[in-house]
């Protein structure tokens, strides 16, 4: 049993991780009182490996509860702190949003992670990610937020993904004013700026 103890809520995460930053964005949107702890992803502390043996990022501790999958954590925070709402209330809309998040995770986020962490042939992953995003321009254009008139959990994930693209040599904003305008709306939110670690702040540009 781990020796790590907390009397409140704590989020433990690396200082450069799209899923961890997405979770922090949810926290700041809802203004949840929580302790944030950062660590080097290449050298996780021993107590974290006891809490989260699979080393999935981030890790949430809420008294006796330990969660370590970002989408599970985000949905837990949404249910525990329902205001402001970042998900639809009816079951059909919730299910649709889960499917969208699953698709983004399996497609765009996996391509980004391949570029970041498996750089043997990054150009192919960059090409696939660029083409996939550009094929979805009508979805970015149709609503103020992604497939929604209101800001949702989906936008928390997309904000952190889009933030990293220019520094990776993926000029998606040059190719699509619609994606650029969408991204600027997300980057201007106080919750996004607050969610950035010192490392993540250097990855993007607020003046896109």
Predicted local confidence at residue 72, as pLDDT: 94
Predicted local confidence at residue 64, as pLDDT: 87
Predicted local confidence at residue 119, as pLDDT: 67
Longest dimension (CA), the chain: 52
Span 51-106, pLDDT tens digits: 888 777 899 999 889 998 999 999 999 999 999 999 877 899 889 999 999 999 99
SS (H, E, C) the chain: CCCCCCCCEEEEEECCCHHHHHHHHHHHHHCCCCEEEEECCCCCCHHHHHHCCCCCCCEEEECCEEECCHHHHHHHHHHHCCCCCCCCCCHHHHHHHHHHHHHHHHHHHHHHHHHHHCCCCHHHHHHHHHHHHHHCHHHHHHCCECCECCCCHHHHHHHHHHHHCHHHCCCHHHHCHHHHHHHHHHHCCHHHHHHCCHHHHCCCCCCC
Residue 9 tokens, joined:
């809520």
Predicted local confidence at residue 178, as pLDDT: 97
In the chain the domains, ranked by start, together with CATH numbers, are: 91-190 (1.20.1050.10)
- Kindly give, in sequence order, each residue whose CB lies less than 8 Å from that of residue 73, ignoring residues fewer than 6 positions away: 11, 23, 58, 60, 67
Place of tokens 């979770």: 23
What is the pTM (predicted TM-score) of this model?
0.91
Q: What is the mean pLDDT of each run of 10 residues along the chain (208 residues)?
A: 63 92 97 93 83 83 91 95 89 92 95 84 90 97 94 97 94 95 96 95 80
């Amino acid at each position: 049993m781990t020796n790590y103890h907390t009397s409140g809520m704590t989020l433990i995460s690396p200082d450069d991780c799209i899923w961890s930053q997405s979770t922090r964005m949810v926290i700041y949107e809802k203004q949840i009182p929580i302790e944030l702890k950062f660590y080097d992803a290449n050298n996780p502390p021993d107590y974290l490996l006891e809490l989260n043996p699979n080393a999935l990022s981030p890790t949430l501790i809420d008294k006796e509860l330990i969660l370590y999958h970002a989408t599970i954590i985000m949905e837990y925070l949404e249910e525990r702190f329902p205001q402001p709402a970042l998900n639809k209330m009816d079951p059909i809309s919730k299910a649709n949003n889960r499917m969208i998040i699953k698709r983004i995770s399996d497609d765009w986020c996996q391509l980004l992670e391949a570029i970041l962490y498996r750089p043997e042939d990054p150009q192919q992953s960059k090409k696939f990610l660029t083409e996939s995003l550009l094929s979805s321009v009508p979805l970015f254009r149709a609503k103020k937020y992604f497939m929604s008139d209101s800001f949702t959990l989906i936008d928390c994930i997309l904000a952190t993904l889009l933030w990293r693209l220019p520094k990776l040599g993926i000029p998606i904003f040059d190719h699509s004013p619609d994606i650029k305008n969408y991204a600027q709306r997300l980057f201007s939110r106080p919750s996004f700026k607050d969610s950035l670690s010192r490392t993540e702040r250097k990855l993007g540009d607020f003046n896109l």
